[in-house]
């Protein structure tokens, strides 16, 4: 396959390069960056020295089979019609096609949607939940990192009517790489080191994406309390969810629901009782880990999920989607366990 990456020098873009370079079906890799076009990739990321990754191109996209777009919101949607007209499959790692309604996008992202007519064509790219809708499609909306961890935990339970829908609290933590490679005071070392903070409280842009897909699973509109936090580590994501359960539901009912959904999945792991997810379990891999308990004092479920925000939360999942779109083995190029310690 001939594959391209727009935004190849960002953190998600670099992870795409790392994974695509070892993908057996990718024999031609076009890498583009509007900011450093003409420079050798190794000059931007010296850890690639001696591996002949190539020269970064401008964003005049050649003929490709698949194009990954790791760009700020608004930039991908403005060009997607032209890519699709050239029979290029588009996998957007940004937010442009994740929301079904243009007005919701415009409310949360504060720009006019450049291509609202394409929203109905986009498949939401979370393979373990929507595999058949993704397979063979031309436009994939790669989910956000927070929604990925949250939806893997909650969607099966909501589909099976095991949870109450009026009480859903999502308490999420991410490593700093989730903020991207750009320099800002909020991610400056002196501000982040030995610090722990909530941000985007009540207005984080992943909120409508989470609510959209949870409502889809529940068969009714619902809202959630979603609060993200920034923790002083480079990568990783851990989400703790508090949920009321329906009358008569037991812990084993919740666990069996997960097992029924995920027991054949290569990347999703329901941990043995008593083993709680840690971010290191998934660091550098496309794997997700789940655990839950039903608190006997409160009668509420406590659910924990962890992923690597740059892999299952971005680049690894994007390649998983590419494999489905192009008819490759789904795990091709993204196998392997986490680094430990």
154: closest CA among 285, 275, 305? 305
Beta-carbon contacts of 177 under 8 Å, excluding residues fewer than 6 positions away, are 11, 234, 235, 309, 310
Active site residue 69: no
The pairing of strands 66-69 and 300-307 is unpaired
HSE-CB for 148 with a 13 A CA cutoff: 33
HSE, CB side, 13 Å, CA atoms: give it for residue 108.
21
Number of H helices, E strands in the chain: 10, 13
Least Cα distance to 80 among 36, 1, 14, 141 occurs for 141
Strands (E), 175-277: 197-198, 225-230, 237-245, 268-270
Q: Which of 142, 152, 130 is nearest to 267 (CA)?
A: 152
How far CA 132 is from CA of 151, 154, 218, in Å, comes to 17, 19, 19
The answer to whether the Cα torsion of 323, 128, 279, 215 is positive or negative is positive
Cα four-point dihedral sign 216, 250, 261, 334 = positive
Q: Which secondary-structure segment (H or E) carries 68? A: strand 66-69
Cα–Cα distances (Å) from 137 to 84, 89, 131, 152, 327, in that order, read: 11, 8, 11, 22, 11
User: Which residues participate in catalysis according to the annotation?
Assistant: 145
């Amino acid at each position: 396959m001939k594959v391209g990456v727009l935004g190849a020098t960002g953190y998600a873009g670099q992870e795409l390069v790392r994974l695509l370079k070892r993908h057996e079906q990718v024999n031609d890799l076009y890498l583009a960056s509007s900011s450093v076009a003409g420079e050798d990739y190794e000059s931007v990321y010296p850890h690639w020295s001696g591996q002949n990754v190539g020269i970064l191109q401008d964003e005049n996209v050649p003929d490709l089979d698949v194009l990954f777009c790791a760009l700020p919101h608004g930039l991908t949607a403005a060009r997607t019609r032209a890519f699709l007209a050239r029979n290029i499959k588009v996998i957007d790692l940004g937010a442009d096609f994740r929301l079904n309604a243009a007005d919701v996008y415009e409310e949360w992202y504060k720009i006019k949607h450049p291509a609202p007519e394409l929203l109905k064509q986009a498949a939401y790219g979370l393979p373990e939940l929507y595999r058949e809708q993704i397979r063979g499609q031309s436009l994939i909306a790669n989910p956000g990192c927070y929604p990925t961890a949250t939806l893997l935990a909650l969607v099966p339970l909501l589909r099976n009517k095991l949870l109450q829908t009026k009480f859903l609290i999502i308490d999420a933590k991410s490593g700093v790489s989730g903020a991207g490679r750009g320099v800002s005071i909020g991610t400056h070392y002196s501000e982040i080191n030995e610090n722990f903070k909530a941000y985007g409280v009540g207005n984080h842009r992943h909120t409508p994406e989470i609510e959209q897909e949870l409502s889809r699973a529940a068969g009714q509109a619902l809202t959630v309390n979603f609060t993200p936090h920034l923790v002083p580590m480079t990568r990783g994501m851990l989400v703790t969810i508090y949920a009321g359960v329906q009358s008569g539901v037991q812990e084993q009912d919740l666990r069996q629901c997960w097992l029924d959904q995920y027991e054949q999945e290569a990347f999703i792991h329901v941990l043995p009782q008593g083993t709680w997810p840690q971010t290191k379990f998934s660091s550098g891999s496309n794997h997700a880990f789940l655990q839950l308990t039903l608190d006997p004092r409160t009668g509420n479920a406590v659910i924990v999920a962890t992923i690597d925000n740059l892999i299952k939360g971005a680049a690894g999942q994007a390649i998983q989607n590419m494999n489905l779109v192009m008819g490759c083995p789904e795990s091709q190029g993204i196998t392997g366990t986490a680094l430990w310690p």
